[in-house]
Amino acid sequence: MVSIDKVGYGEYLLLAEAPMFKRRYTANGDIMLGCTIGCDFCIYRMIDTTIPYFGTGELKRLATPEEFAESVSNSRLISERSLVIMGARGDASMYPNDIPKMLNTAEKLGLTTKFLALRRAILDKTVKHQLADYPQLYYGTTITPKAIETGSPVPDYLQLKGLQNVTDFLNKVSIEVGPVTPNNIDAVKGILKELKDMGWEKAMYRGVTVGSWGVERKEAVEKMIKLGFITPEQAKQALESPEYFYGVKNNLDSLMEKAIQNMFEEVGLKAYRYAGQFYADNWDLPVPLTRRNKIRSDILEYAKKVQYPNKDLEQQLDYLGYYDHDVKWSNEHGIRVAYVNTKIPITEDVAMYLGEVTGVAIIATNYLHSPNKEVLKHYLKYSFLGIPERAKKNIMRKLN
> Sheet holding 270-272: strands in order across?
20-23, 27-29, 83-86, 114-118, 137-143, 173-177, 202-205, 270-272
**Nearest-approach distance from CB 151 to ligand SF4, in angstroms:** 9
**Nearest-approach distance from CB 360 to ligand SF4, in angstroms:** 34
**Nearest-approach distance from CB 89 to ligand SF4, in angstroms:** 7
Instruction: Report the distance separating Cα 19 and Cα 31, nearest Å.
Output: 6
**Nearest-approach distance from CB 91 to ligand SF4, in angstroms:** 4
Closer by beta carbon to ligand SF4, 111 or else 160: 160
Closer by beta carbon to ligand SF4, 119 or else 296: 119
Closer by beta carbon to ligand SF4, 87 or else 371: 87
Instruction: Report the distance separating Cα 7 and Cα 365, nearest Å.
Output: 17
Q: Given 3-state DSSP classes, what are the helix, strand and coil percentages for the chain, each rounded to the nearest 5?
A: 40, 20, 40
Closer by beta carbon to ligand SF4, 163 or else 376: 163
Q: Find the part of the chain contacting ligand SF4 (CB under 6 A) among 33-41, 218-226, 285-293, 334-342.
A: 33-41
Instruction: Report the distance separating Cα 131 and Cα 137, nearest Å.
Output: 6
Q: Is position 217 an interface residue for ligand SF4 (rule: CB under 6 A)?
A: no
**Nearest-approach distance from CB 202 to ligand SF4, in angstroms:** 21
Instruction: Report the distance separating Cα 325 and Cα 345, nearest Å.
Output: 11
Chain residues 6-25 in contact with ligand SF4, contact rule CB under 6 A: none
Closer by beta carbon to ligand SF4, 91 or else 194: 91
Instruction: Report the distance separating Cα 70 and Cα 64, nearest Å.
Output: 10
**Nearest-approach distance from CB 62 to ligand SF4, in angstroms:** 14
# binding residues, ligand SF4 (CB under 6 A): 11
**Nearest-approach distance from CB 47 to ligand SF4, in angstroms:** 11
Chain residues 34-93 in contact with ligand SF4, contact rule CB under 6 A: 35, 37-39, 42, 44, 54, 90-91
**Nearest-approach distance from CB 141 to ligand SF4, in angstroms:** 10
Neighbours of 199 (CB within 10 A): 11
**Nearest-approach distance from CB 280 to ligand SF4, in angstroms:** 24
What Cα–Cα distance (Å) separates residue 284 from each residue in 93, 268, 277, 305? 26, 23, 10, 8
Closer by beta carbon to ligand SF4, 224 or else 303: 224
What is the full DSSP assignment across 168-179? GGGGGEEEEE--
Q: 328-332: long-range contacts (C-beta < 8 A, 24 or more apart)?
A: 332/295, 332/361
Q: Find the part of the chain contacting ligand SF4 (CB under 6 A) among 32-40, 68-76, 179-187, 371-379.
A: 32-40
Closer by beta carbon to ligand SF4, 226 or else 328: 226
Closer by beta carbon to ligand SF4, 38 or else 155: 38
Separation of CA 317 from chain center: 24
What Cα–Cα distance (Å) separates residue 9 from each residue in 220, 349, 383, 394, 395? 19, 14, 18, 14, 11
Contact 121, 159 (CB under 8 A): yes
Closer by beta carbon to ligand SF4, 205 or else 384: 205
Chain residues 141-180 in contact with ligand SF4, contact rule CB under 6 A: 152
Instruction: Report the distance separating Cα 200 and Cα 269, nearest Å.
Output: 8
When binding is defined by CB under 6 A, the residue of 23, 24, 120, 378 that contacts ligand SF4 is 120
Q: Give me the count of residues in the chain.
A: 400
Backbone angles phi, psi at 165, to 5 degrees: -65, -20
Interface positions with ligand SF4 (CB under 6 A): 35, 37-39, 42, 44, 54, 90-91, 120, 152
